Amino acid sequence: MMNVYDDFDFFIDSVVMVHDYTFKDGAFYDFSDKRRLFGLVYVIDGEIEYTFSSGNVTKVCQGDTFLLTPECAYTAKCIKKCRHFTINFTIDKESIQGKTARNIFENDSIILLDQPILSARAYFENLHKVWQRKDTGYRVLATSKLYELLFHFLKSTTPKEQRTIYAKIAPAKEYIDQNWTKEISVPYLASLCHLSTSYFRHLFIKAFRMSPTEYRNHLRVLHAKDMLLQGFYSVSEISYACGFDDPNYFSRFFKKETGISPKSFRFER
């Protein structure tokens, strides 16, 4: 199960092919020796039945978005004439970070979204147009559009239970996101969500795997890293900008959170 706060990262090696293709009624395709590439698919209309080596059977139909990985071994039968967009691509497997990304990109079965990506068809259509036109630098533009599409795909894999939890604590998260430099009262955050303090804290930790205070501190560290890498600010200036009154305390805090001092972080990057 994906956690609401599960950061992920990956690098796309290349977009190999983007096509708009139609399977005819009764057509049968055999990939029992596994795929060579990742395939992100959007079904425009029709229906296909996938049977995987694990024995799992999945039917996809109009409006479905799903991912097939190079680990997938399957056969596919077209139940009803099916038109679909497919984006075939490769990913640097060593670059995959985060539980969600690993669960998805290293899966040996279909990943079918149970909640739609807003304007999914438009995303696929635009990427397909870029690929078909083949203007100067089209591969770069296609890769950037695929990154955005995969971002929404990974974010949309959050199970219904987690989405329900997130909806309950969303006002508090939004407040922290906008006020991370300030001291924030957990009871106040709970009141924004109309929840008791203990129940709010329980839901927040369940969703983000960290307390509200730890989440705020996490944001402080991320912003501090950005300022350190810019090279324009002193450690003291960064300390105050990130909500710390004492630069020495900030330095100790930063090292505790990252395992490295602010100055060392700056010069080792």
Structure tokens of 7? 């950061």
Q: How far apart are CA 175 and CA 170, in angstroms?
A: 9
Same domain, 169 and 215: yes
Give the residue among 94, 99, 111 at the shortest CA–CA distance from 40: 111
Query: For residue 3, what pLDDT is reported?
Result: 46
pLDDT of residue 133 exceeding 90, the answer is: yes
Stretch 145-173: mean pLDDT, rounded?
Answer: 86
Mean pLDDT rounded to a whole number for the chain: 90
For the residues 51-73, what does the mean pLDDT come to?
Answer: 92
What pLDDT score does 206 carry? 86
CATH code, domain carrying 255: 1.10.10.60
Number of alpha carbons in the 13 Å side-chain half-sphere of residue 115:
13
To the nearest whole percent, how much of the chain has pLDDT over 70? 96
Residues 121 and 151 in one domain: yes
State which of 132, 155, 178 marks the end of a domain: 155
**Is 4 within the bounds of a domain?**
no
Give the range of the structural domain holding residue 111, as residue numbers without chain letter: 9-155
For residues 172 and 179, what is the distance between their CA atoms, to the nearest angstrom? 10
116 and 232 fall within a common domain: no
Q: What is the pLDDT of residue 159?
A: 67
Domain membership flag for residue 3:
no
Domain-ending residue, one of 155, 178, 204: 155
Say what angle helices 247-258 and 212-230 make with each other, to 10 degrees. Answer: 100
Name the domain count of the chain. Answer: 2
Tell me how many degrees the CA angle 230-235-237 measures, rounded to the nearest 5: 85
The three-point CA angle 81-86-92 to 5° equals: 150
Flag whether 211 is in a domain.
yes
Residue 55 pLDDT > 80, yes or no?
A: yes
Boundary of a domain, candidates 105, 123, 155: 155
**Average pLDDT of 192-210?**
92
Alpha-carbon radius of gyration of the chain: 23
Asked whether residue 193 is assigned to any structural domain, the reply reads: yes
